[in-house]
Amino acid sequence: LTSSWTRGPKYSWFTWFVVLALLGVWSSLAVVYFDIVDYDSVIGKLTAYDTDGDGDFDVEDAKVLLGKPRRSSKKKVKPNKPTFSPTQRSVFYSYILKVSSSFSPSTPAKKKKPKLFNKFDKTIKAEIDAAEKLRKKGKVEEALRAFETLVQKYPQSPRARYGKAQAEDDMAEKMRSNDMLQRAINTYREAAELPDVTPDLLKATLKRRAERQQFLGRMRGSLATLEKLVQLFPDDISLKNDLGVAHLLLGDNKGAKKVYEEVLAVSPGNGFAKVHYGFILKSENKIAESIPYLREGLESGEPGTDDGRFYFHLGDALQRVGDNSAYDWYELGHKRGHFASVWQRSLYNVNGLKAQPWWTPKETGYTDLVKTLERNWKTIRDEALAMMDQNTGVFIPEEENLREKGEWGQYTLWQQGRKVGNACEGVPKTCSLLEKYPEATGCKRGQIKFSVMQPGTHVWPHTGPTNCRLRMHLGLVIPKQGCKIRCTNQTREWEEGKVLIFDDSFEHEVWQDADSYRLIFIVDVWHPELTQYQRQTLSPI
């Protein structure tokens, strides 16, 4: 879900809002400095995804994916970027495109100036220009009054009606008003429906309407607008690319796939279509098939392709087929500013935090929490075992396609800094022990959960979504041999009653080759260098 208040000559008016289940995007967001959108209504339409298996997509996810609404460079709040991880669950494809899909190889280098005035509008051009001058100078209220007067005076004028819609659009931004933005959306439609609209004005009007519909979470309305555009301008590849994304926003991978197949049939070199088509193939778990599309799409360098998520998914696909060139792409993603390093590939980050894969309790400063966990590990273990015996259904299978093979279940107590339902009723002593440690229970970018892994399980290399947390693993039931975890190039084993601490924003991988199950307790804590203000204001993941 991205939206951009920013306009620029090299950008199409259509930009993105959200997008779907990247073979593993895990949720998380950034703070948006104003709320013009009813985010709750938006996220109700989306499928959950999550890098560490928490399976949650929340209001803050929507905010970041929608992007920071802005127009002036005076107020710049750089949003955190989302991350992802392999997932088989189709349909939540989330990324923020810096430019739209208006580029295509056949686009001429020098564009003609759009013809927005029909014959009648040319006769009142001076009046329209005067109103437009007010709008461009930022005199929004005066511009809106001027265009409203023109529409009353010349109701048959498409250009005057379009100017009124733009002025209402600007007012919506200034007022931070959903109602005003809906007025603009309606006026864009009125302008497009007037007789004798020039093709360029018709296209500009409907594209802007589709963008604004998406901004308000009117995904189906936006799809209908884009379908109409494609019918009116069937040779415009960029519109079909936009239509593909609209399908993705609705979780319709099948519809998006069909659109991108049509695009590639007539424009086989279109990098934007390739990278999205490759993404869809990977979401279908067609790993090997996705690789050439993702790779060639990135190599094209076309607008909308240089995005960290595509570098991630190409690298992840290559890793899964045993191709070490994955790290060349991770390195390139790092050089392009998408990853902190080849190993640390999280995208919801706070700059400047100490970055290392493994931590000691002393380095974290959370020694009291570690001691409490280790002193009471048998109590924690016994409660978990009782839940496994009485109600194994509380252990939810990992559903993010992180496993190459095997069985892996999780029982979550806290998520995003909040208790999960009545989960603590089953393990009251464990929850009571944790209550006095806000660095854990208040960690909005983490979870507290039990994790049981059966023999024969292998977890693919993957990275967590954020560098804002550290992950503690308390060993509860650990077979003598066969269980290990790698973080970067260091491999360690769990011990019963002992805590391992690592930064899961670094690449890590797990093997369970023992003869019996492995049970651990996972406690995420805030990165110790985060300030209290940051802990209070960072968005949940």
String of DSSP letters for 19-46: -BB-TT--------S---S-HHHHHTTS
Task: Say what the pLDDT of residue 284 is.
Answer: 93
Domain boundary among 259, 282, 298: 298
Does some domain include residue 270?
A: yes
Instruction: Say if residue 241 is in the same domain as residue 377.
Output: no
23 CA to centre of own chain: 12
pTM to 2 decimal places: 0.73
pLDDT tens, 309-361? 899 999 999 999 999 999 999 999 999 999 999 999 998 899 999 999 999 99
Does some domain include residue 2?
A: no
Contact between residue 389 and residue 523 where contact means Cβ atoms under 8 Å apart: no
C-alpha Rg value of the chain to the nearest Å? 26
Provide the 8-state DSSP code for 152.
Answer: H
Residue of 438, 292, 273 whose CA lies nearest to 369 = 438
Query: Which CATH number goes with the domain that contains 261?
Result: 1.25.40.10
> Which segments of 99-215 does DSSP mark as H helices, in order?
119-123, 125-136, 140-153, 158-175, 178-193, 199-215
Task: Say what the pLDDT of residue 100 is.
Answer: 37
Domain boundary among 298, 315, 335: 298
Q: Which residues make Cβ contacts (< 8 Å) with residue 292, sequence separation at least 6?
A: 278
Task: Say what the pLDDT of residue 110 is.
Answer: 62
Domain that holds residue 201: 87-103+117-298
Task: Say what the pLDDT of residue 309 is.
Answer: 87
Q: What is the 3-state secondary structure (H, E, C) of 98-132?
A: CCCCCCCCCCCCCCCCCCCCCHHHHHCHHHHHHHH
Task: Say what the pLDDT of residue 398 is.
Answer: 85
Instruction: Say if residue 213 is in the same domain as residue 293.
Output: yes
- CA-based angle 317:318:321, to the nearest 5? 90
Does some domain include residue 93?
A: yes
Does some domain include residue 343?
A: no
Does some domain include residue 294?
A: yes
pLDDT tens, 75-90? 333 333 333 333 323 3
Query: Which CATH number goes with the domain that contains 503?
Result: 2.60.120.330
Residue spans of the chain under pLDDT 50: 1-109
Q: Which residues make Cβ contacts (< 8 Å) with residue 139, sequence separation at least 6?
A: none
Instruction: Say if residue 372 is in the same domain as residue 480.
Output: yes
Ramachandran angles phi, psi of 128, nearest 5°: -65, -45
Does some domain include residue 32?
A: no
Task: Say what the pLDDT of residue 107 is.
Answer: 44
3-state helix, strand, coil in the chain (%, to 5): 45, 15, 45
Task: Say what the pLDDT of residue 392 is.
Answer: 67
SS3 349: coil
Instruction: Say if residue 377 is in the same domain as residue 509.
Output: yes
What's the number of domains the chain is made of?
2
Task: Say what the pLDDT of residue 14 is.
Answer: 37
Does some domain include residue 516?
A: yes
Domain boundary among 240, 266, 298: 298
